[in-house]
Amino acid sequence: MSLLAEIQTLTERLYGATGINCEDFLIGRERFRYLSRHEAHCRELSDLARVFFRVQQNRLYLGIYYSTAVVEALETNDPRRGLSEKNITAFCVFTEEINHAVHGALKFLEGGTMSAESFACDLELQSKIDLYFVLKYFLAHCNAGGRLERMDRLWIRYHLFECEEVSYQAAPLARRYGQALALGEKYTRFLDSVPPPERLQEIRRFRAFPYERKRRYIQMLP
């Protein structure tokens, strides 16, 4: 199984099947450039990777782009053999786009609106939460005994919540990514305190909330 398929499978086990194969929707550099012309604030968005959504005649069209730099970093240092400073950034970028694709497809199947800013905010928040557990899964898998060490959790939180820059000139981008970091950091701390048998139910219940309800829910957490 490819790394992309493995991450898609992990995500769909949590939230439900999309009925799509993300590998079928990979696009190249030229198509990426063309689609980026129609995207708001595209000049400030990273060109390392991107997911594109379009709904036309009640059909969802999807495109997933990865830069050569991301692909080469993961091919040289496969995350399934261990995560380190050499591949953590590329792995986060890679995983977040798959997460966006899965949640976007689920939203479409549920009849959700995919053009509003709240949709983009929801994808970013959900990807931070899910990526936290994907990173824990991969690190534990490579550790002796399959258990996380305390430093593993600190290392994950550092790379996931403390390293990312959100100094965008466009106010919607600054708000979108800033909220994802702050809310994601608080919610994952709360999830770590939830007893493991109850955690899956909590994650699925939370995912079904509209974005504004998610934001208020996290803000009310202790």
- What confidence tens digit (pLDDT) does each residue in 178-216 have? 999 999 999 999 999 999 999 999 999 999 999 999 999
Greater confidence (68 vs 42) lies with 68
Q: Show the tokens assigned to 91.
A: 């792995």
Separation between Cα atoms, residue 105 and residue 84, nearest integer Å:
31
Cα dihedral angle (158, 42, 107, 123), rounded to 10 degrees? 10
Rg (CA), the chain: 17
Query: How many other C-beta atoms can be found within 10 angstroms of the C-beta atom of residue 191?
Result: 16
Query: How many other C-beta atoms can be found within 10 angstroms of the C-beta atom of residue 170?
Result: 13
Question: Model confidence over 53-97: pLDDT tens digits?
Answer: 999 888 999 999 999 999 999 999 999 999 999 999 999 999 999
In this structure, which amino acid lies at residue 31?
R
Name the E strands within the chain: 26-27, 49-56, 59-66
**What is the average per-residue pLDDT within 11-34?**
96
Q: What is the pTM of this model?
A: 0.94
Separation between Cα atoms, residue 44 and residue 42, nearest integer Å:
5
